[in-house]
Amino acid sequence: MAYKLTPLGDGVQGLFIENPRFKTTLLSFHFYLPLRAETVAENALLPYVLTSCSAQYPDFSKLNYKLHSLYGATLSTCVAKVGDFQELRLSISVIDDAFSLDDTSTVGTAAELLSSLLFAPALDGEAFRAEDVEREKRQMRERIASEESDKRLYARSRLTGEMFAGDPYGLSKFGAPAQVDAITPAALFAAWQRLLQTAFVRVQIVGRVLPRGVFERVAAAFREIPRADIPDLTQTAPATPAERVREVTETQQLAQGKLVLGFSCGQHGLDRPTMPLFVCSDLFGGGPYSRLFANVREKLSLCYYCSASLVKSKGLLLVDSGVELANADRAREEILRQLDAMRAGEFSDADLEASKRSVCEMLRSYDDSPGTLDLWFANRVADPAPMTPAEVSDAAAAVTREAVRDAARGVKLHTVYLLRPEEGTEA
């Protein structure tokens, strides 16, 4: 696997990720905008409206017919947080030209289709069509409700919101239901213009060969658009140590309590400087070799699950667990005790090697599909020379126990969130 980054304009890049193993090509537009309370919901709704229809394909049945004519090409969209920025993603996956049954370029046609959805949407004057906006608003409310009904996901989100209260990263990637309700067709039109004019744009292509002319057409399209106020994606503020640990408890009707601990890490950013922290996070709360799994879950049976995850861009370590309410305090104490053990270097060489092997296998699996490679590079958009999964794997394998221990010493408890069952609802 190799990649090449090409400047296409002011705040616009093209990235070709070559992998000859794939029989499909994935083309995606990634837009990065600052996370702001007043625009987060409009931004989040926009890609879903854009990928549902266009001026050329005014309803989904016509759009779907076009996708079927491209050997069943698939269209998808996604909204995510990357550091202090909101990422909006529009993608199409199509069979590679080498495997089509005629001389028509399936990849070129798919690229034109995706571009038409973005640059020529279905409009009603200077507004999106009301029926399209209302349909997607209804589905967005369902997405928000679905995340809230997943209590593990909800608890993690609430921890993040409390730990980063007043910080862009504390915002939901979709916005709040009331914000979604307030979106008008005219406001969404303004959001679309703002997207094209001010977002940092990365166009990524993952496949066997770089399709001829795709980057050139994208560059030409953006030359016709006035561009200004492009965000600097390197400006993400890290989690800082708390002067005093913040404690938040909420009660809901649920059978199992959710305990989430948020830690600042003392370092954040790109792959190279955070490699020991990456391995430290996995050894602390990754697989069955980890301190949290082996001790908090298995040995002491204090929780149903207990794992750690790292958000490198923010220098954030999350530990989330499902607990009986009676065990919540003991689980918290034991999680912190296991972190102290990491700081003291109290982990075996065998466990460290098992962790590094697991990390390396996970990293190398990114090469297995166009979608995971697309995600890998989209999350590293702020890095001018991003490492490949294989390069990160090699670097992780070289991390020493002393580096892991030192990384653990920088991890400090910031916020504790407990979602507890209402009295009488706990199993």
Domain boundaries of the chain, sorted by first residue: 2-223, 246-421
Same CATH fold assignment for domains 2-223 and 246-421:
yes
Contacts with 64 (C-beta within 8 Å, 6 or more apart), sequence order? none
Q: Which two tokens stand for residue 273?
A: 């400087």
Hey, what long-range contacts does 58-66 have (CB within 8 A, 24 or more apart)? 58/122, 66/113
Helix or strand holding residue 246 (H, E) = strand 246-252
| Residue 316, strand partner residues | 264, 311
What's the CATH code, domain 2-223? 3.30.830.10
Per-residue pLDDT of the chain (427 residues; tens, 9 = 90+): 899 999 999 999 999 999 999 999 999 999 999 999 999 999 999 999 999 999 999 999 999 999 999 999 999 999 999 999 999 999 999 999 888 888 789 999 999 999 999 999 999 999 999 999 999 999 999 999 999 999 999 999 999 999 999 999 999 999 999 999 999 999 999 999 999 999 999 999 999 999 999 999 999 999 999 999 999 999 999 999 999 999 999 999 998 999 999 999 999 998 989 999 999 999 999 999 999 999 999 999 999 999 999 999 999 999 999 999 999 999 999 999 999 999 999 999 999 999 999 999 999 999 999 999 999 999 999 999 999 999 999 999 999 999 999 999 999 999 999 999 987 665 5
CATH architecture of 246-421: 2-Layer Sandwich (3.30)
**Cα–Cα distance, 162 to 170 (Å, whole number):** 7
The identity of residue 338, as a single letter, is Q
**Cα–Cα distance, 153 to 155 (Å, whole number):** 5
- pTM here is 0.95
Q: Coil, strand or helix: which one is 333? A: helix
* Cβ-contact 66, 45 below 8 angstroms: no
Name which of 198, 186, 269 is nearest 229 in CA terms. 198
